[in-house]
Amino acid sequence: MKKWCSNNLLYIIGAAIGAVGGFMYWKFVGCSSGTCPITSKPLNSTLYGAMMGALLLSLFKKSEPVGRK
């Protein structure tokens, strides 16, 4: 478990930052009409933010050369 966490640390940090950002976006900007698919509910906005944060920070992860393990 410890090795998995250290290998995926950037994903975890990105998801945490994105989740906080998504929740803050819902809280302060949100959707007044309730028809917006992402920002109408705090759970949707938080999960979307977590996914985007993990994807964004995954760009900075170094990949191993092909054929090495």
SS3 of 39, please?
A: coil
Q: How far apart are CA 22 and CA 37, in angstroms?
A: 13
Which pLDDT does position 35 carry in this prediction? 84
Contact (Cβ atoms closer than 8 angstroms) between residue 15 and residue 39: no
Helices (H), 1-69: 2-7, 9-28, 42-58
- What domain range is 49 assigned to? 9-58
The answer to the question of residue 53 being in a domain is: yes
Contact (Cβ atoms closer than 8 angstroms) between residue 20 and residue 14: no
The answer to the question of residue 29 being in a domain is: yes
The domain tally of the chain equals: 1
The answer to the question of residue 68 being in a domain is: no
The answer to the question of residue 2 being in a domain is: no
Question: pLDDT digits over 3-40, tens only?
Answer: 888 888 889 999 999 999 999 999 998 887 878 888 88
Phi and psi dihedrals of 28, rounded to 5? -100, -25
The answer to the question of residue 31 being in a domain is: yes
The answer to the question of residue 21 being in a domain is: yes
pTM above 0.75, yes or no: yes
pLDDT band at 68 (very low <50, low <70, confident <90, very high): low
